[in-house]
Amino acid sequence: MLSALLISVTLNSIAEGISVDAGLTPAQDRIIVRLQYRNIFNQMGSNDIVMHIFPVVVAYGLTPDITLMMRNMYRNVGINETMMEMDSRWMDPFLMGKVKLYRHNAPTYTVGIAGFAGTTFPVLNSSISKNYSPVIGLNVSYRPGLWSFDLNNAYEWVNLNTRESQSVAKEVQVNMAISRNIILPGIDNWVLAPVQEFSFLQSHSNSEDVSNKYGFISPGFQVVSPNVKIEGLYQIAVNSSNNTGVTNGNRIIVGLRFMF
């Protein structure tokens, strides 16, 4: 039972990567489609847990101040030597709304602050049909010249049971990204942007004295055009405090974004 709890917490703690544009909202009636591949490697004792995650995100600018987003992901279990059965399947969809709280455009910089709230909806996972994972947070973006600074803070109730009004665990996530645009000579409308991200997550179980603190130091890149982004990130795990038995390993993220 404890292993099932730990795996549940680990799978919900994806630790977001490539978090640029966090505080900015897309223009009205514009659609952003984001496709990613994530290679995740964890260990429980001497057992390996290797997963391949394929998130699909669709965001829509409902108004200049409100963005609606739907995310779903397919999980493929490559290696699973634990006693817990984990099948390869589509996970429960996640729906979110982001609202612009503040935006200032100056000749030399831009500042954006946006709040968001969302939750998973248990329509595909019958084993936890009464459970949701609501999350609230705040995004901040600062654009001075060719530089970009983004901060993402989130608080999540993992697998909140509507009958018992209690979640399996509570999580706090903090993600920061720094990048700088480099104009590519001889290539019109394309920009190379090296990215450095820092992520921190703390989770605590409500039913057991189980807690986990870890983070990632993540170098990466983006290649950007007006309507397409190509992105990649290598997340280097830093396990600072852990009594769950699960050790997070390094991760790889590659993806594409399209705007219509």
Per-residue pLDDT tens digits for 9-20: 444 445 566 665
pLDDT recorded at residue 207: 67
Tell me how far CA of residue 218 lies from CA of 55, 64, 153, 177, 252, in angstroms: 19, 31, 17, 9, 9
**pLDDT 10s digits, 171-203:** 999 999 999 999 888 888 899 999 999 999 988
Tell me how far CA of residue 129 lies from CA of 11, 24, 120, 125, in angstroms: 17, 34, 11, 6
pLDDT recorded at residue 9: 41
Rounded-to-integer distance, Cα 226 and Cα 212, Å: 40
Rounded-to-integer distance, Cα 83 and Cα 189, Å: 51
First to last CA, the chain: 46
User: Domains plus CATH for the chain?
Assistant: 2-259 (2.40.128.130)
pLDDT recorded at residue 116: 94
pLDDT recorded at residue 21: 58
User: pLDDT below 70 — which residues of the chain?
Assistant: 1-25, 79-86, 124-129, 162-163, 207-209, 241-245
Helices (H), the chain: 2-12
Helices (H), 114-206: none
Rounded-to-integer distance, Cα 197 and Cα 176, Å: 6
Rounded-to-integer distance, Cα 255 and Cα 185, Å: 24
pLDDT recorded at residue 111: 93
| 73 closest CA partner among 31, 115, 124 | 124
**pLDDT 10s digits, 105-133:** 999 999 999 999 999 988 865 555 678 89
| Beta strand extents in the chain (DSSP E only) | 31-44, 47-61, 66-80, 89-90, 94-105, 109-120, 131-132, 135-144, 147-161, 166-180, 182-183, 191-205, 211-224, 228-242, 246-259
pLDDT recorded at residue 2: 42
